[in-house]
């Protein structure tokens, strides 16, 4: 009943904010925060009201569902479903959305109404992607995210905004059309073999495909998700888009948009084409490990603060992808935690970079240095999120990376070993970031205000979430557990009759809960 409102609330809020923007520049901000807050509260209440884990079997993981016909002639339905996985990501979306509005409170001075309309539309699209259970609807929301994001970058972005926004748009649009071809191929193959032409995810699962069909369709989907994630050869839009976007744009790109790619892998790609994914599993894992190391190496050599953070995203999302391709409960749970924590830690780093840029009018790290003396509070926050980013034990990102490595070790020890060296690399770039920005000699003429109450509050709440997940990840893991278990069954070619196949991949299931308790 309520799940469709999770999409409508940001949409309506965005339109109201736009209208409100004609009266004052304060109104859109208040409306956006209020509607996102309402969405957050509604999601949280769904979380609270969801039946206990024990009461749900792996197959029926939906906490809430909504299904109505949309374009019946083509078998398109408006089918939404919320399970533990999407619940966590929707929570993240609303939370980071609020952060996005708050952190652009002073940064965006012109056309605030239109800015907030775009911001809310991006969030609407993202929530829609996390909830869609109809492949057409999914594609619809997938594409819907692009235009407002394009506007966010191209209107309120920095110097090279035109280049960055067009590059972002074309990369994602082209890969999206390839996914559409994959979707349509699946639709027709399913329709011909069963006589039912439908885009419904639950019905398309388990479509019989020949290995060739499966591989090509899988590649179509993978193109879209790999560009969004981004996986390494398809990442070149990311540093430009991230560094040219306004703070809220970078935050949403890194915190949420990249997650839609990972979500697509988990929800659609592997369950729909388990055999094809099995056949490219090692390649996927090698690419992930390459992404981890490549992102880290490039992050280490950046001079532009936002570009540096952008490259760390590539590295961190490599862990998510590694967890997905390893495809067992440990690694997937790790990927989920990593997605959530990366949203917070990288998002916070972008907020910090935005604050620095607003005060220093540059993103060059050579113009910074010694800020610890000038702005101790900001520096403290920077240290915290830098440490979170390098995976310090006790913080959420560590749990994510650790679980991913643990899970992927069962599949390939060699790749995991290579990926694990990424942890060292992340320590290198995080510490270099700290050293260049906050330590070292201070430029004499450098004065600036420390972060204000609003900024401190945002960052402190984000830090608190990372600490809580780091110390007590149980609730998060339990929320996603039924969803992840269900997906693993669907996506595992070796378990064709569910639960009766060889138990080779099963052991992860039992241990993850115990180990973390």
Partner 1 sequence: MTTNDFYALSPLLAVGAAALAVMIGISVKRSMTATAGLTVAGLFVSFAMLFPAASIAPRIVTPLLVIDGYALFYMGLVLAGTLTVVLLSLEYLRDRGAHPEEYYILLLLAAFGSMTLVASRHFGSLFLGLEILSVSLYGLIAYVRGNEKGIEAGIKYLVLAAVSAAFLVFGMALVYTATGSLEFSRIGAGATPTDPLFLAGAAMIIVGMGFKLAVVPFHLWTPDVYEGAPAPVTAFIATVSKGAVFALLLRLAGPFHILDHPTLFTVFSVIAVGSIFAGNLLALSQGNIKRILAYSSIAHLGYLLVAFLAGGVKGATAATYYLSAYFVTTLGAFGVISLRSGRDREREYIHDYRGLAWRRPWLAGVFTAMLLSLAGIPLTAGFIGKFYAISAGVGSSLWFQVVSVAIGSAIGLFYYLRVISVMYAQPERHSGGRQAVARAISFGGGMILALLTLGLILLGVWPSPLIGLITRAVSGMN
Closest CA to 317 of 224, 422, 165, 387: 422
Q: Token match 């209107």: residue?
A: 155
Give kind and range of the element (H or E) at residue 109: none
Residue placing its CB nearer to partner 1 in the complex, 144 or 297: 144
Taking the C-alpha atoms of residue 44 and residue 344, their distance in angstroms, rounded to an integer, is: 18
Min separation Cβ 174 and partner 1, Å: 4
Taking the C-alpha atoms of residue 40 and residue 279, their distance in angstroms, rounded to an integer, is: 40
Taking the C-alpha atoms of residue 388 and residue 398, their distance in angstroms, rounded to an integer, is: 8
Binding mask 90-109 for partner 1 (x = CB under 8 A): --------------------
Residue placing its CB nearer to partner 1 in the complex, 30 or 178: 178
When binding is defined by CB under 8 A, the residue of 66, 115, 136, 402 that contacts partner 1 is 136
Residue placing its CB nearer to partner 1 in the complex, 175 or 408: 175
- Answer yes or no: are the C-beta atoms of 358 and 106 closer than 8 Å: yes
* Start-end of H helices in 363-412: 371-374, 376-390, 396-409
Taking the C-alpha atoms of residue 353 and residue 474, their distance in angstroms, rounded to an integer, is: 32
> Would you call 60 helix, strand, or coil by DSSP?
coil
When binding is defined by CB under 8 A, the residue of 15, 42, 44, 147 that contacts partner 1 is 147
Quick one: how far is CA 216 from the chain centroid? 25
Beta strand extents in 283-439 (DSSP E only): none
Q: Does 471 bind partner 1 (CB under 8 A)?
A: no
Q: Does 115 bind partner 1 (CB under 8 A)?
A: no
Residue placing its CB nearer to partner 1 in the complex, 128 or 239: 128
Residue placing its CB nearer to partner 1 in the complex, 178 or 392: 178
Q: Does 15 bind partner 1 (CB under 8 A)?
A: no
Taking the C-alpha atoms of residue 155 and residue 46, their distance in angstroms, rounded to an integer, is: 36
Q: Does 499 bind partner 1 (CB under 8 A)?
A: no
Min separation Cβ 171 and partner 1, Å: 9
When binding is defined by CB under 8 A, the residue of 62, 115, 130, 150 that contacts partner 1 is 150
Which residues in the 167-206 window bind partner 1 by CB under 8 A? Answer: 169-170, 173-174, 177-178, 180-181, 184-185, 187-188
Residue burial 455-464, b: 16+ Cβ < 10 Å; e: rest: beebbeebbe
Q: Does 213 bind partner 1 (CB under 8 A)?
A: no
Q: Which stretch binds partner 1 (CB under 8 A): 55-63, 144-152, 401-409, 416-424?
A: 144-152
Residue placing its CB nearer to partner 1 in the complex, 182 or 318: 182
* Start-end of H helices in 327-452: 329-360, 371-374, 376-390, 396-409, 413-438
DSSP for residue 244: H
HSE-up of residue 20 (Cα within 13 Å, Cβ side): 18
Secondary structure string (H, E, C) spanning 468-512: HHHHCCHHHHHHHHHHHHHHHHHCCHHHCCCCCCCHHHCCHHHHH
Taking the C-alpha atoms of residue 323 and residue 333, their distance in angstroms, rounded to an integer, is: 8
Q: Does 257 bind partner 1 (CB under 8 A)?
A: no
Q: Does 8 bind partner 1 (CB under 8 A)?
A: no
Burial of residue 210 (number of CB atoms within 10 Å: 0-12, 13-18, 19+): exposed
Min separation Cβ 143 and partner 1, Å: 5
Residue placing its CB nearer to partner 1 in the complex, 224 or 296: 224
Binding mask 65-84 for partner 1 (x = CB under 8 A): -----xxxxx----------
Q: Does 124 bind partner 1 (CB under 8 A)?
A: no
Residue placing its CB nearer to partner 1 in the complex, 166 or 280: 166
Taking the C-alpha atoms of residue 477 and residue 353, their distance in angstroms, rounded to an integer, is: 31
When binding is defined by CB under 8 A, the residue of 12, 42, 53, 155 that contacts partner 1 is 155
Q: Does 48 bind partner 1 (CB under 8 A)?
A: no
The number of helices, as runs of H, and strands, as runs of E, in the chain is 23, 2
Which residues in the 262-291 window bind partner 1 by CB under 8 A? Answer: none
Min separation Cβ 77 and partner 1, Å: 12
Residues interacting with partner 1, by CB under 8 A? Answer: 70-74, 111, 136, 140-141, 143-144, 146-147, 150-151, 154-155, 162, 165-166, 169-170, 173-174, 177-178, 180-181, 184-185, 187-188
């Amino acid at each position: 009943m309520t799940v469709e409102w999770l999409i409508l609330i940001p949409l309506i809020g965005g339109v109201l904010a736009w209208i409100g923007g004609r009266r004052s520049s304060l109104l859109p901000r208040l409306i956006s925060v209020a509607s996102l807050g309402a969405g957050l509260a509604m999601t949280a209440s769904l979380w609270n009201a969801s039946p206990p884990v024990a009461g749900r079997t792996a197959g029926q993981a939906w906490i809430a569902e909504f299904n109505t016909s949309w374009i019946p002639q083509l078998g398109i339905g408006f089918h939404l479903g919320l399970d533990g996985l999407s619940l966590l990501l929707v929570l993240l979306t609303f939370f980071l959305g609020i952060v996005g509005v708050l952190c652009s409170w002073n940064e965006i001075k012109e056309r605030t109404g239109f800015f907030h309309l775009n911001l809310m539309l991006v969030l609407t699209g993202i929530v829609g992607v996390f909830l869609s259970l109809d492949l057409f609807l999914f594609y619809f929301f997938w594409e819907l995210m692009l235009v407002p994001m394009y506007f966010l970058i191209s209107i309120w972005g920095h110097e090279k905004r035109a280049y960055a926004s067009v590059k972002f748009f074309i990369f994602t649009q082209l890969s999206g059309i390839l996914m559409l071809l994959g979707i349509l191929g699946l639709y027709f193959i399913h329709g011909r073999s069963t006589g039912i032409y439908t885009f419904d995810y639950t019905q398309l699962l388990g479509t019989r495909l020949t290995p060739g069909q499966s591989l090509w369709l899988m590649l179509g989907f993978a193109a879209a998700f790999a560009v969004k994630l981004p996986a390494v050869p398809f990442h070149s839009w990311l540093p430009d888009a991230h560094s040219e976007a306004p703070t809220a744009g970078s935050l949403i790109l890194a915190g949420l948009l990249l997650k839609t790619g990972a979500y697509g892998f988990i929800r659609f790609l592997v369950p729909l084409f388990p055999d094809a994914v099995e056949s490219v599993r090692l390649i996927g894992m090698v690419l992930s490990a390459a992404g981890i190391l490549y992102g880290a190496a490039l992050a280490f050599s950046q001079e532009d603060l936002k570009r540096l953070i952008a490259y760390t995203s590539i590295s961190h999302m490599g862990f998510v992808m590694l967890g997905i391709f390893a495809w067992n409960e440990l690694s997937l749970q790790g990927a989920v935690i990593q997605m959530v924590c990366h949203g917070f830690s990288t998002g916070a780093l972008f907020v910090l970079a935005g604050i620095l840029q607003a005060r220093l009018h540059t993103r060059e790290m050579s113009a910074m240095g010694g800020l610890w003396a000038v702005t101790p509070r900001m520096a403290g926050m920077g240290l915290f999120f830098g440490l979170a980013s390098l995976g310090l034990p006790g913080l959420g990102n560590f749990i994510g990376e650790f679980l991913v490595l643990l899970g992927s070790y069962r599949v390939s020890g060699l790749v995991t070993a290579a990926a694990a060296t990424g942890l060292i690399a992340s320590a290198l770039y995080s510490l270099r970031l700290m050293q260049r920005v906050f330590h070292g000699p201070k430029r004499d003429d450098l004065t600036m205000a420390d972060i204000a109450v609003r900024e401190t509050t945002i960052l402190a709440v984000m830090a608190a979430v990372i600490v809580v997940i780091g110390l007590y990840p149980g609730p998060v893991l339990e929320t996603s557990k039924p969803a992840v278990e269900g997906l693993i069954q669907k996506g595992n070619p070796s378990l064709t009759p569910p639960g009766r196949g060889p138990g080779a991949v099963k052991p992860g299931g039992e241990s993850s809960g115990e180990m973390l308790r």
